[in-house]
Structure 1
Amino acid sequence: MLQHFLVIRPSGEAAADASGETKRSSDEADRSGIRPETAITALGFRVQSLRGDQKTKALAAKCEAVILAVPSSCLDEWVARVLSWRDWPVIWWCGEAAVTESCHGGLEVDGVLFPGMTPAQIHWTLMISSSHHLRRTQWQKEREQLLSRLEERKWIERAKAILCEMKKISEADAYEFLRTQAMNERKRVVDVASSIVNVYQWISENKTGGSRK
C-alpha cells in the first residue's frame, strides 16, 4: 500500500500556453477549497508538496507516488515529465469543476481524485491506483519482451535464409548450424544470426559497389 506521496502544482497560479490562452490553475478549478495535501494527510499518509519541478527529482526517490494537482490542459505534459524521472504511480487531483469535462478514457494516469470524494473513496482510489500501476508496469515489461523476441526472430529468419541460399541446406539444418555455432562461441543464437546477416550485407554492398566502378 502506498504511504508517501509527492504533490506537485504548477509554478504559477495561472500560466499561458503556446496559443496565449490562460490555463486555469488547479486551485482555481477546485471550487471546494480542499487541497490534496489535506485530504491525503487526514488519512494518515505522508505528503510533501512542491510548486513546479524544483528539487522534485530528488524527492521522487523518497516518495512512492506522485499526485499532480494541475489543470487538464497541461496534464499530459506533467505525466510525461514525472515518468521521465522514474516509473511510479501517477495520480491526478482533478478540480471538481473539471471532473465531468476532463475525466475520459484517454487519461494516462493510474488514478483520479477529486474534492468531492469521501475519505473511504480516496483511500480506495489510492489502493486501486497502486494496483493499476503494477499491472501497467507488468504489461509494459511483457510488451518489451515480446517486441524483443520478435526482433530476435527476424534476425534468425534472415540468417537462416542466407545459410539456405549459400550452403544449399534446409531451414532445419540452417537453424541447427546457428545453434551449434552459438554453443561453440558461447553466444546467443540471435547474436550469431545478426553477425551472419551483417557480414552478408557488407559483402553484398561491396560487390555492388565494386561492379559499378
Structure 2
Amino acid sequence: MNYKYITIEGNIGAGKTTLANKLAAHFNAKLILEEFADNPFLPKFYEKPQQYAFPLELFFMAERYKQLKDMLQMQDMFSDLVVSDYLFIKSLLFAKINLKEEEYNLYQKLFDIINPQLVQPDLLIFLNAPVPKLQQNIKHRNRSYEQQIADEYLVSVHDMYMQYIRQHPVRTLMLDMTKVDFVKNPADFDKLLQALDKEYEPGIHYL
C-alpha cells in the first residue's frame, strides 16, 4: 500500500476508533488513538459548556499535539504504517463550534503556531453517518457524559467537517456508514482494503 499515514475521522459516534483498530491490526500498523478519557474537563463541559469550553479545547489541543509529535517522530517513514483516529485540525474545528469569538481568535493563534510542526496524513477516511445513527452508537457505547448530546450539536460538527474537507485539498475517502458495518460484515472491510490499494488525487472520493 502506498499510504504511510492514514487518519480516520467523522462525527461523534461514527465508529472512528473501531475502524482504526481493525486497520491497524490488519496491517500491523502503529496505532494512535485519541486519549479523550484523560481530559478532566470533558464531563464538566457537557454540564456547563460555556464555562468549560476553553480549558476543554486547550487540553485537547495540547494532548493531541504531544501524542502525534511523539508517535510520528518515532515513525520510520519508509516502512511503518501509522493509523490514527483523529486529525489534529479537529482541535480548531471543535473550537470554532464551542468557543466565543475572542476565545477562538486566541485559540487559533496558538493552533497556527504548532500545527506546521506536525506531519499531515497521506489519506483521510471520513465516516459519514446521519444523526440518528450517531445517536444510536452514542447510546450503545454508554459514556454517561455523552448521553445528552443534542442533535443540533452533531449537525454543527458534521457541517464543520464538511466545510473543511471541501475547502482544503485533502485526499479523502468518504464512507457512507448507513451502508457498511465493519464489525458485523467482513465483506465491507474487504472492500475498504481493496480501495486502499488505489491511488487517489487530492479531493473527495466516495466508496
TM-score, normalization by structure 2: 0.27
Q: Which has the larger radius of gyration?
A: 1
* Higher normalized contact order (CA 8 Å, seq sep 6+, divided by chain length): 2
TM-score, normalization by structure 1: 0.26
